């Protein structure tokens, strides 16, 4: 199966009806979706796949930063591993000239997120800065959001989290530990965003580009991840998103992802 289809140019200038659209400045409202206000921050991420070595340091950093429970071998075998960020493998070329390519897949923080309208209790909603926020205490666990996510990036707490010693000593105090029966997913390290904004507010200035770093970005040895404000044309993430190599994952679904991928080469899925 060719995976070329998941790669769509990130900036279509017009939609099918001729309305102007772009990933960085989406329409204010389309159908069900409220896409946030004009001139506000739109948090976004760019991932350069040509730099990714698939080392999975980001996966580990994410788990440590966000108090993600470790479910153990048996549960993982049942398909219940809880990584908010996973490295998908794709192969390029024909045997024996095969090259493995890696794609970190995390919540795409869609501008028009399919997960949001289906939640009966507003446990997942769109915040003004373009994040798909989760309200854990509101979640009743219908798992409808996860079914409607085209990227399958939502993970569910099938049981109450357990952090046997000494794991409990490394819990991040800025992040809540989720109870069983609750959905969760990548938050773009919202606790770091909040901390960054607080610090900037203390010093009475704007948040500088590159000041807020997500855990995955911070831990990436090849600096394959950029994070920042997509509304700011000068930010690193905006400049990356302008690249001719940029694409959105499953962009034809028009979910307006906040994550942009960069890749210069042809892709193929693992041979089946």
Partner 1 sequence: MTTESQRSAAVLDGELLGRLDRRRPGLLVGALASGALALVFFSCWGYQIANGIGVTGLNRPVFWGFYIINFVFWIGISHAGTLISAILRVTNAEWRRPVTRSAEAITLFALAIGGLFPLIHLGRVAIFYYMIPYPNSRMLWPNFRSPLVWDIAAITTYIIGSALYLFLPLIPDAAVMRDRAAAGLKKRFYALLALGWRGTAQQWHSLEWGIRILAVAIIPVAVSVHTIVSWDFAMTRTPGWKSTIFGPYFVVGAIFSGIAVLMIALALLRRGLGLGRFLTDRVFNNLGLLFVTMSLVWGYFTFAEHLTVWYSGDLSEKLVHHVLLHGDFAAPFWTMVVVNLVIPVAVLSFPRGRRPLPTALVGCGVLVGMWLERFLIVVPSLSTPRLAYSIGDYMPSWVELGIMIGAVGVFACLYFTFTRWLPIVSVWEMREGWRHGARGEGEATSGAAPTSATAAAPVPGGGAA
* Interaction site with partner 1 (CB under 8 A): 1, 3, 5-6, 32, 75, 78-81, 86, 88-89, 105, 114, 117-122, 138-144, 146-148, 150-152, 154-160, 179-183, 249-250, 253, 269-270, 272
The partner residues of 99 in beta bridges, in order of sequence, read 92
Distance of CA 123 to the CA centre of its chain: 18
Pick between residue 65 and residue 184 the one whose CB is nearest to partner 1.
184
**Minimal distance in Å, beta carbon 145 to partner 1?**
9
C-alpha of 84 from chain center: 8
Taking the complex as a whole, the smallest distance from the CB of residue 138 to partner 1 amounts, in Å, to: 7
**In the complex, least distance from residue 92 CB atom to partner 1, rounded to whole angstroms:** 15
Q: Quick one: 160 or 198, whose CB is closer to partner 1?
A: 160
Please identify, using beta-carbon distances, which residue of 171 and 269 lies nearer to partner 1: 269
HSE value, Cβ hemisphere, 13 Å, CA-based, for 25: 10
Asked whether 260 and 247 are in contact (CB, 8 A), the reply is yes
**Any idea which residue has 């390519």 for tokens?**
101
CB nearer to partner 1: give 214 or 255: 255
**Closest CB 259 distance from partner 1, rounded Å:** 13
- Give, as one character, the DSSP assignment of residue 222: T
Question: Least Å distance between CB 69 and partner 1?
Answer: 11
Tell me the HSE value of 259 on the side-chain side, using a 13 A CA sphere. Answer: 27
Determine contact, residues 219/58, Cβ cutoff 8 Å: yes
> Cβ closer to partner 1: 30 or 148?
148
Cβ–Cβ < 8 Å for 50, 265: yes
Beta bridge partners of 87: 104
CB contact set of 200 (below 8 Å; sequence gap of 6+): 206, 207, 208, 211
Q: How far is the CB of 249 from partner 1 (least distance, A)?
A: 8
Residue placing its CB nearer to partner 1 in the complex, 158 or 163: 158
């Amino acid at each position: 199966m060719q995976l070329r289809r998941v790669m769509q140019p990130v900036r279509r200038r017009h939609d099918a009806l001729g309305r102007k659209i772009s990933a960085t400045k989406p329409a204010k409202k389309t159908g069900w979706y409220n896409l946030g206000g004009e001139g506000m921050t739109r948090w976004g991420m760019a991932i350069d796949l040509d730099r990714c070595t698939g080392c999975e340091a980001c996966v580990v950093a994410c788990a440590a930063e966000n108090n993600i429970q470790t479910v153990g071998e048996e549960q993982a075998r049942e398909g219940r591993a809880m990584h908010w960020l996973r490295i998908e493998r794709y192969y390029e070329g024909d045997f024996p000239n095969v090259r493995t390519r890696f794609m970190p897949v995390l919540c795409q923080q869609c501008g028009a997120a399919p997960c949001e309208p289906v939640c009966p209790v507003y446990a997942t909603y769109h915040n003004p800065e373009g994040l798909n926020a989760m309200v854990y205490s509101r979640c009743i666990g219908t798992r409808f959001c996860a079914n409607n996510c085209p990227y399958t990036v939502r993970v569910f707490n099938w049981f109450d989290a357990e952090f046997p010693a000494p794991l409990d000593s490394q819990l991040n105090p800025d992040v809540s530990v989720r109870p069983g029966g609750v959905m969760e997913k990548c938050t773009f390290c919202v606790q770091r965003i909040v901390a960054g904004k607080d610090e900037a507010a203390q010093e009475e200035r704007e948040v500088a580009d590159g000041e807020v770093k997500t855990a995955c970005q911070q831990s990436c040895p090849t600096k394959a991840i950029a994070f920042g404000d997509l509304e700011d044309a000068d930010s690193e993430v905006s400049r990356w998103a302008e690249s001719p190599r940029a694409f959105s994952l499953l962009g034809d679904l028009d979910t307006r992802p906040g994550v942009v991928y960069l890749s210069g080469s042809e892709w193929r899925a693992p041979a089946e």
